[in-house]
Amino acid sequence: MQNQQHQGQMHPNMHTGMVNQQMNHGGHEVFDVHEVLSGTIGVLNQYTLLRPHVKDQELMNILDRQHQFITQEYNTTVDCFKTGKDPAVPTQTYNMTQGNDFVYGMKPSQPKKPLTAASELSDECISGLLLGAHKTMAGSKSMAACEVTNPVVRRVLADSIPNCIEMAYELSIYQNKHQYYQVPQLAQQDMQQLLNAYAPAQMNTMPNNNTTH
């Protein structure tokens, strides 16, 4: 009896059916998800702090729409992380409302430089800060999703990565439309050479090296 009790203490998670769902997380997962949630709070704080400085109504609409979406996505992640179960509100899909046509080419513009005072905050600066935040979160969530053992949390994080990309894309299109973000292109000959630099791989069946004796 004493030996059985000792074995039970040594292997508390031996029977997976009895594991508390709240404890269904690995060590790396806990640290990485903490980093994602802390980073998301930082992004939301940026939206709150920068919103009073926005001048363009179009950018204001983007900020409000994205802030509301990120807040719900944050709550969804917190929910499944705390319980280990499906969240009450599943991960949604963010869809931007504007077109996706970029204007290519460079036009003369003033050199960029750091701000010297908060009064210099502009729509260009604000949209650039938020664009950078989404790029950072896309990478952070990708790294975390690869470390997660809980299947629900992994899926929530994985499904949220395309939303970071979509929101970053929306802001980059806004910047491009207002010439804050200009997109150069290569010469046509160089572009064609690079576009045709790779050929499709042959879909051959892998050889079976197993031999029977």
Question: What is the domain partition of the chain in residue ranges?
Answer: 24-100+121-195
Give tens-digit pLDDT for 122-155.
999 999 999 999 999 999 999 999 989 899 999 9
Helices (H), the chain: 2-10, 27-50, 57-83, 123-145, 151-177, 188-195
User: Residue 23: pLDDT above 70?
Assistant: no
**Rounded CA separation 79/73 (Å):** 10
Across 14-18, 135-139, 195-199, 200-204, least confident range: 14-18
Higher pLDDT, residue 11 or 173? 173
54 within 8 A of 174, measured Cβ to Cβ: no
Provide the residue type at 106 as one letter.
M
103 within 8 A of 181, measured Cβ to Cβ: no
Q: Which pLDDT does position 210 carry in this prediction?
A: 67
Q: 27-50 and 151-177 helices cross at what angle (nearest 10)?
A: 30
Q: What is the mean pLDDT of the segment spanning 183-207?
A: 90
Burial class (CB in 10 A: 0-12, 13-18, 19+), 130: buried
Q: Is the pTM of this model over 0.85?
A: no
Q: What is the mean pLDDT of the chain?
A: 87
62 within 8 A of 170, measured Cβ to Cβ: yes
**Rounded CA separation 184/180 (Å):** 13
Instruction: Tell which CATH architecture fits domain 24-100+121-195.
Output: Up-down Bundle (1.20)
End-to-end CA, the chain: 49
Residues in the chain: 213
**Rounded CA separation 180/156 (Å):** 33
